[in-house]
Structure 1
């Protein structure tokens, strides 16, 4: 099965075809390309950096090297501009490029943040499924594969009960 045949598939599997152009990223790598540059990070750094961006302040208590990588990502995201002529597959708004070993997606910075923080709305989940099929970030530990409901959001999910009320 090739990546094109994976579109619309709702259940992630480790045998999902990878994008050969993104092989350099390895199993946990993420590359963000914006109109102002590129940065390559791992998934844990992405979570920390997007949480810092979301809360508008550095996370406290992170070890030195990890803290430095999160801060670098935070600075990068703060200066980020959309890639010229790139349009989000979700909203149609100006986008950045989000790459993993499996997929390349055009998303706004806020959509990429929600993807990394397991906080996509059901509509956003569905847009990615229809465009790329199930990717690791959407697997059934994080989302209901049928409804798209987020199981482990790190921030509030649009259209779901806010975390403070759970």
Structure 2
């Protein structure tokens, strides 16, 4: 599902916008980029434009998630973030984010996630937001710990990644 209106961050630096068709090409690049796949090992090594468009349309129709694209003041695509597995009673959801590699470690993810969490806890009035990240994703784990997120458990990824490996990769639920 997509919202009809963007959400402007408190800093004014960026907006969480409904995913437009014009972003499909950059989304395809982001999803297959080696920097993105470093910790999201199940993503494909190549994403066709048609596949990115089909994914956008599927997610628009999915009532169990709300996806946003992260844009700056000049409408440049910086990444995407979403809430998914939304509990029907409104108690909890999963949160995810992917940022274009040139914009990592610049505060974009922090601004986007704080904006998204304000929406989750303020507007949606949820009680819990869960993040899952690879055990070796030290930058994301550190960010979550600095925000006060608590480790709730460690699981094992049982599926192979797109290159046939990845079984046994640990994931943290924060």
TM-score interval (norm. to shorter): under 0.3
TM-score, with length taken from structure 1: 0.27
Larger RCO, structure (CA 8 Å, separation 6 or more) = 1
| Bigger helix fraction | 1
| Bigger strand fraction | 2
TM-score, with length taken from structure 2: 0.26
